[in-house]
Structures are given as C-alpha cells and as structure tokens.
C-alpha cells in the first residue's frame, strides 16, 4: 500500500465527494476513482458507499480514515526530521519557451507540498537548446519539447500537441482547415540560432524555406510570433500556443506532433529528480 493511495483516500474521505477530492489533489476524477477501487481491492473491503450527494464512509472506511491519518502524520514527521538532518537542497529546473506554462501552478503547488524545504532554481533556455540545459549539465531536470537528440537522456511524455503554421490573419491560407509543408515552401520563415540541434531545427522549420538574412536568429517563441506579425514570416508552433489576434495558427497536416516532456540525464539518480518527474507525470491530462 503506497502513501499516495492513503492521500487519495484521505482526500475523498474528507471531501465526501470524488470530484471535489480530485480538484483538491490537482488531478482528474477518473484516475482518482481507479485508485480508490484499487485500494479497496487490495484491502478486500468497501471503503465508501456511493450516494446521490457523493460518498459516505463504510464502517471499514471509518477505521481506515483514523489509521490513514496516523500513518500520514507519522510519514510527514519522518520526512521533516530527515530534511532537517540533510540540510537545505536545491533543484535546478530547465524550461524551454512556453513548456512550463502548460503545467504551471498545479506543478508548483504539488512540488512545494511534497518538498517545502527544497529551493527551486529556474534556468530558461532559448530555442537554440531544446534540452533546456541538460546537455550542458546546467540543470537537474527539464520541461521541454521534442524532437531533439536524446542520447544519454530519459524522457517522460506529458502531452502531445499537433503543429500549426502561424500566419498573418489576412494570409490566403489562414482560412484553411489545414495546410501542408509543400504549400508553405519557399516563403520567408524565422531563423533559429546557429548550432541548433538538427532534429529540432528540421522539425520546427520548413523544407525549402527562406530565412530572411536581415533578421537575427529567433531565440524565443515571442520573437518568432513578432517576426510573423511585423515581417509576414511563417513560423511553426504547437497549436496550443496562444497567438496575437492578428495572427492565425493553421494545422500542418504532414508534420508530426510535438511532445511536451519532462527530461533528465540517465546517469542522475537523485531522489528529488525522480520525485519531480513523478509529480509532473501525475499532472498530465
């Protein structure tokens, strides 16, 4: 029986409602319901009676509530004593462009609850480094997007998003349901920094596109959007990326999706890294 299962049970028992408990835990309802059913299967008893208003504790559930609180209180005392003995710790998190915004406050809150004594340092990488600092060993763990060279790295996928072509709203292709890379070939496009990972560059640029030599390399998504807005260039971006009202993102039919991932070096076994990865993965939709 895992402590996570006890925390899930405690939330449902205190809220008397699976939906409210899921909100409190910053997760969706289906995985919480599955976790409670698995806990009941493991214990061989029913913990909750389902009612029109939510759930009520069974006699076994009432006993479980008392014991779960005691176990979780003891686990928290143990964690705090170990943290005091260990001293302050720091986790350096690399982020690329908008990657961290897709998890945002729920990830911060969940990690802070699990590790209140850990200091988080943020390293924000530009579009020239899709590993977000992992390759240069500047960070412990990274929130970034694929594809890029992953030798020596481990990745956990958090979300998959289709790719869109960002165009001016008055572009003839802006009214289309989708476009192909062939239809965009030959247009002016944004230019990524020199030395950018080849897999990353090939995925986020267009074949045969013409980077404007008079425009410096784009290092952020916002710079790319501004190049489209001011210079009529074409940029590729995740369809979930917010764009100004005067721009439109049209799905690119023949470009494979991008994955939002949490990544870390395979040779790093720090428990804080494993915890961060597990928390981030638990928040995925």
pLDDT at 176 over 60: yes
Measuring CA to CA, which residue among 72, 150, 163 is closest to residue 113?
72
Q: What is the pLDDT of residue 136?
A: 86
Phi, psi of 237 (to 5 degrees): -155, 160
Over range 124-129, report the average pLDDT: 88
pLDDT at 79 over 80: no
221 and 98 in a common domain: no
Q: Domain boundary at 67, 86, 105, which?
A: 86
pLDDT at 85 over 90: no
Over range 160-169, report the average pLDDT: 94
Locate the DSSP E strands across the chain.
Answer: 48-51, 54-57, 89-96, 118-125, 141-145, 153-161, 163-168, 188-189, 210-211, 235-238, 247-251, 258-265
pLDDT grade for 88, boundaries at 50, 70 and 90: low
Phi, psi of 268 (to 5 degrees): -105, 125
Q: What is the pLDDT of residue 87?
A: 56
pLDDT at 275 over 90: yes
pLDDT grade for 99, boundaries at 50, 70 and 90: low
Among 38-42, 76-80, 114-118, 184-188, the minimum mean pLDDT is found in: 76-80
Q: What is the pLDDT of residue 212?
A: 64
151 and 11 in a common domain: no
Q: What is the pLDDT of residue 90?
A: 86
Residue 187 neighbours by CB under 8 Å, 6+ apart: 206, 209, 210, 233, 234
Against a cut of 0.75, is the pTM above it? no
User: Which residue did the predictor score with more confidence, 264 or 283?
Assistant: 264
pLDDT grade for 209, boundaries at 50, 70 and 90: low
Q: What is the pLDDT of residue 41?
A: 93
Q: Domain boundary at 43, 71, 86, which?
A: 86
177 and 145 in a common domain: no
179 and 115 in a common domain: no
* 155: CATH: 3.40.190.10
pLDDT grade for 168, boundaries at 50, 70 and 90: very high
131 and 209 in a common domain: no
Q: What is the pLDDT of residue 210?
A: 64
95 and 78 in a common domain: no
Q: What is the pLDDT of residue 213?
A: 67
How many domains does the chain fold into? Answer: 3
Integer angstrom CA distances of residue 278 from 107, 156, 157, 263: 11, 9, 11, 11
136 and 93 in a common domain: yes
Each residue of 225-258: pLDDT tens digit? 888 988 888 999 998 888 898 999 999 999 999 9
Q: What is the pLDDT of residue 140?
A: 92
106 and 74 in a common domain: no
Q: What is the pLDDT of residue 249?
A: 95
Range of the structural domain that residue 40 is part of: 3-86
265 and 142 in a common domain: yes
212 and 81 in a common domain: no
* 62: CATH: 1.10.10.10
pLDDT at 10 over 60: yes
140 and 64 in a common domain: no
128 and 99 in a common domain: yes
Helices and strands in the chain, H and E counts: 9, 12
pLDDT at 283 over 90: no
DSSP states of 162-219: -EEEEEETTSGGGGSS-B-HHHHTTSEE--PPTT--HHHHHHHS-TT-EE-TTSPPP-
Share of the chain above pLDDT 90, in %: 47
C-beta of residue 146 within 8 angstroms of C-beta of residue 258: yes
């Amino acid at each position: 029986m895992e402590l996570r299962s006890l925390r899930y049970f405690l939330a449902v028992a205190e809220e008397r409602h699976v939906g409210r408990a899921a909100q409190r835990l910053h997760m969706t309802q289906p995985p919480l319901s599955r976790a409670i059913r698995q806990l009941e299967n493991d214990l061989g008893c029913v913990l909750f009676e389902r009612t029109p208003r939510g759930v009520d504790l069974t006699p076994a559930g009432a006993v479980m509530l008392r014991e779960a609180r005691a176990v979780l209180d003891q686990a928290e005392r143990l964690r705090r004593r170990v943290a005091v003995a260990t001293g302050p710790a720091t986790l350096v998190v690399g982020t690329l462009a908008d990657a961290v915004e897709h998890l945002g406050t729920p990830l911060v809150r969940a990690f802070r609850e699990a590790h209140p004594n850990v200091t988080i340092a943020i390293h924000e990488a530009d579009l020239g480094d899709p590993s977000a600092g992992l390759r240069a060993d500047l960070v412990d763990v990274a929130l970034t997007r694929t594809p890029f060279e992953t030798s020596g790295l481990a990745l956990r996928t958090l979300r998959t998003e289709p790719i869109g072509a960002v165009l001016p709203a008055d572009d003839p292709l802006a009214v289309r349901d989708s476009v192909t890379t062939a239809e965009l070939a030959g247009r002016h496009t944004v230019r990524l920094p020199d030395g950018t990972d080849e897999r990353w560059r090939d995925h986020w640029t267009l074949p045969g596109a013409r980077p404007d030599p008079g425009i410096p390399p784009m290092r952020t998504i916002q710079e790319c959007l501004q190049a489209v807005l001011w210079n009529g260039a074409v940029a590729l971006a995740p369809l979930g990326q917010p764009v100004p009202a005067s721009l439109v993102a049209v799905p690119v039919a023949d470009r494979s999706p991008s994955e939002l991932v949490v990544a870390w070096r395979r040779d790093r076994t720090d428990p804080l890294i494993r915890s961060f990865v597990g928390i981030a993965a638990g928040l995925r939709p």
